[in-house]
Amino acid sequence: MPRTHETYQRIHTEQRARILEAARRVFARKGLDATVDDVAAEAGISHGLAYLYFANKAALFSELVSEDLQASTGWLERFAAAQTPPMDRLRQMVTGLVESRRDHPEHYRLLTQVLNDETAPGDLREQVAQRGQAMRAVLRGLIAAGQASGEAAAGDPDQLVRAIFASLDGLTAWHAADPEAYHRDFPDAEIFLRMLRP
């Protein structure tokens, strides 16, 4: 029985997602030294099938980073537009940032690769840097609002933001060094929230 157009589209979408997920793991581990063959092997598909979906490594890498950035930017926009009190949003944001690092370590390793690899395309490096700045700006605004109401710890909001992100970046480095311990001993978001309480 011939495949329907809907069946073909479903298979195409699933295969493309499988390739991108494999690419996320491979590029997170190897950076831009990874090859399309590495990705195909990780996905359990042929070299030729990988090229059917992506013309070359640059196209695959660019699509992967753009997809990850789009997802995180959408989350940030929805979060920033919420009408809940600033301290509620601050707790939700910090918890979301910590849980996202826990659940998607390859995503953050990939973004770290983009920022630290001088061979990464300049436009992607700029997009990743801008997304990070936007994330820090929203967090800073929520900390400042919490300080104004007396609900957040006193101190320079920029330093508090740096402390949170330095801790999160440390978690990403930890995953690269010891993934087993990372998943076993990952800290609870409450530990991060203590830094922000008066």
Our CA dihedral for 138, 141, 145, 146, rounded to 10 degrees, sits at 60
Distance, CA of 178 to CA of 191 (rounded, Å): 21
* CATH 1.10.357.10 for the 57-194 domain, yes or no: yes
Residue 191 has what pLDDT? 95
Number of H helices, E strands in the chain: 10, 0
Distance, CA of 194 to CA of 190 (rounded, Å): 6
Which pLDDT tens digit goes with each residue over 49-86? 899 999 999 999 999 998 888 877 777 877 777 888 88
**1: pLDDT confidence band, cut at 50, 70 and 90?**
low
Among candidate residues 97, 108, 187, the one with its CA nearest the CA of residue 136: 97
Which pLDDT tens digit goes with each residue over 160-192? 999 999 999 999 999 999 999 999 999 999 999
Residue 75 has what pLDDT? 79
Contacts by 122-127, CB closer than 8 A, 24 or more apart: 124/61, 124/62, 124/65, 124/66, 127/65, 127/66, 127/69
Map out the domains of the chain as residue ranges: 57-194
User: Which spans in 81-156 are helix H?
Assistant: 86-103, 105-116, 122-148
Which pLDDT tens digit goes with each residue over 93-141? 999 999 999 999 999 999 998 999 888 889 999 999 999 999 999 999 9
